[in-house]
Amino acid sequence: MDDIHHGRLTREGIRIHEATDFAGMHKAGELAARILDDMVDLVVPGTTTEAIDKAITDKVEAAGAKSATIGYKGYRHASCISVNHVVCHGIPGPKVLKDGDILNIDVTVILDGWFGDTSRMYVAGKLSRKSERLIQVTHDALFKGIEQVKPGNTFGDIGHAIQKYVEGQRMSVVRDFCGHGLGRVFHAPPNVLHYGRPGTQAVLEEGMFFTIEPMVNLGRPETKVLDDDWTAVTRDRTLSAQFEHSIGVTSDGFEIFTLSPAGKFHPTYS
């Protein structure tokens, strides 16, 4: 028995955490969110994604935390930075941002053994109307999913709420990547799908911790992974957006562990 893990597992293998575990998740989540807040002023035309990642690496270290992604399956950076038609897992590098680029920055930290995983959208320079609409729909899709989080609802209810909303806006939900359980581990059961049917899949219980992280495309949902074995792009090269929160199920709803302390989760900051 591994005594760092408290609580029990459901028959689907989903960990039910104890009431005292929420505090650790809250601290880890808040740190990840604060680091993302600090990136807002760095995202400007002319900078590189590796400069942003370097700032993230420094802030994780300064906080006495660890990056969950450095060394994860051979990944070597403290963030994923996914620009324009990159869906997720964009690798920071010498790419120079230009006016109007939209990007997702995804950070996962480990603080006191707890994982905080969050991502959000940014814009370099001026946001186009088309990009703004994609970002708004993706943000609102995440919250349609979060609103379903309470004991007795199912993971299918979450996925359905997201899919129905996004497709109603004539955009598409990526199927090839999903959210995940987390806690004292990075990726645990269940797979949190961003599409589905009401009443299907595991039933939510108080003490479950997981991410919801929908990726939404302006065009078709299909993705492909580039030769670097990480970068996932839209097959049709249309723009893609993503937002991610780490969430815990409470007795009557949810707690969002990764709320932005500065209120900068959404790139129009309103």
Which of 53, 101, 117, 140 is in the footprint of Co ion by CB under 5 A? 117
CB neighbour burial string for 220-232, b if at least 16 within 10 angstroms, e if fewer: ebebeeeeeebbb
Tell me: does residue 89 bind ligand MF3 (CB under 6 A). yes
Name the residue nearer to ligand MF3 (CB basis): 127 or 209: 209
Q: Which of residues 223-242 bind ligand MF3 (CB under 6 A)?
A: 230
Name the residue nearer to Co ion (CB basis): 63 or 100: 63
What is the C-alpha to C-alpha distance for residues 188 and 177, in angstroms, rounded to an integer? 14
Identify which range of 17-25, 70-78, 131-139, 219-227 contacts ligand MF3 by CB under 6 A: 70-78
Note whether 28 and 256 are within 8 A (CB): no
Q: For the window 29-68, what string marks contact with ligand MF3 as x by the rule CB under 6 A?
A: ----------------------------------------
What is the C-alpha to C-alpha distance for residues 101 and 160, in angstroms, rounded to an integer? 30
User: Among 22, 55, 8, 50, which Cα is nearest to 36's?
Assistant: 55
Identify which range of 21-29, 30-38, 52-60, 204-212 contacts Co ion by CB under 5 A: 204-212
Alpha-carbon torsion 255, 261, 266, 270, what sign?
positive
Which of 60, 213, 243, 249 is in the footprint of ligand MF3 by CB under 6 A? 213
Alpha helices in 18-128 (DSSP H): 21-39, 49-62
Which of 106, 111, 114, 142 is in the footprint of Co ion by CB under 5 A? 106
What is the C-alpha to C-alpha distance for residues 190 and 209, in angstroms, rounded to an integer? 10
Give residues in contact with ligand MF3 (CB under 6 A): 69, 72-73, 75, 80, 89, 106, 108, 117, 211, 213, 230, 244
